[in-house]
Amino acid sequence: MTGRVELEFQKCMARLYGYALSLTGDRELSQDLLQDCAVRVLSAKTAPSEAAALRAWFFRILRNLWIDGFRRSRLEPAPDEPAPPAQENWRFDEQMIDVITVRHGIGRLPPAYRDVIALVDLVGFPYAEVADILGVPIGTVMSRLSRARQALLTVIGETNVHPLRAKQGP
């Protein structure tokens, strides 16, 4: 394994940790997951040569580790494809969308929704990369993501966590 892989891994560590947090919802588990991912990456005999593929490889390894060990032993994930939330009469108060309310809402989403939201919004992967990492067609990524965001808006709308209003004037 070359220094190129280590350097790229270092660059991705914050987002990998954020992704781990979104999967596990637990800091201790996320640290373990990141550590195990680093071990797996550095012990691999080969790695993708292209930078984008290398980054996707890191996230795929971390996700597979979560599926293989942490999720099976410690978490009770929701079904992989939860039912879509109702869309009728869609309205939303944008003032409710805030880092605090979103963070609170994401914590209440099923793992499959958190997974796809994190890969798209946190990591910034295009749908095709996400489909590759998740092992599903792009159409599934699109539908799952749209359901996940609507579920998130629903949770935010129902929550009793509210963003503080900024003070107006002195």
Partner 1 sequence: MKTPDWTDLNAYVDGELRPDAAAEIAARIAADPAVAAQVATLARLKAATAAALSPASAEVPEIRLGRGVRGPGWRRHGARAAAAAVLLVVALGLGQWLWPRPDAVQAWLQQATERHAQWLAAERDPAPIAPPAIRPADAPDGPSWIPDLALARLAVAHVAATKSNGRPELYVGYVGVNGCRLGLWIGPAPARLAASLAEHRDGDVTSFTWRAGDIGYAVMARGMDEARLRAVAAYLETATRQSLDESGETEVARRPAAAADAPCIG
In the complex, the residues that contact partner 1 under the rule CB under 8 A are 1, 6, 9-10, 13-15, 17-19, 21-22, 27, 31-32, 34-36, 38-40, 42-43, 65, 68-69, 87, 90, 92, 94, 97-103, 106, 117-118, 120-122, 124, 126-127, 142-143, 145-146, 149-150, 152-153
* Least distance (Å) between residue 126 CB and partner 1: 7
Q: Cβ closer to partner 1: 6 or 80?
A: 6
In whole angstroms, what is the distance from residue 167 CA to residue 72 CA?
A: 47
In whole angstroms, what is the distance from residue 102 CA to residue 149 CA?
A: 10
CB-based contacts of 88, cutoff 8 Å, min separation 6: none
Measured on CA atoms in the order 32, 34, 37, 42, is the torsion positive or negative? negative
* Least distance (Å) between residue 158 CB and partner 1: 15
In whole angstroms, what is the distance from residue 1 CA to residue 39 CA?
A: 12
Q: Cβ closer to partner 1: 116 or 170?
A: 116
* Least distance (Å) between residue 145 CB and partner 1: 6
Q: Cβ closer to partner 1: 124 or 137?
A: 124
Q: Cβ closer to partner 1: 77 or 142?
A: 142
In whole angstroms, what is the distance from residue 99 CA to residue 60 CA?
A: 26
The pair of three-digit structure tokens given for residue 133, joined into one six-digit string: 């990492």
In whole angstroms, what is the distance from residue 111 CA to residue 160 CA?
A: 22
* Least distance (Å) between residue 170 CB and partner 1: 27
Q: Cβ closer to partner 1: 89 or 168?
A: 89
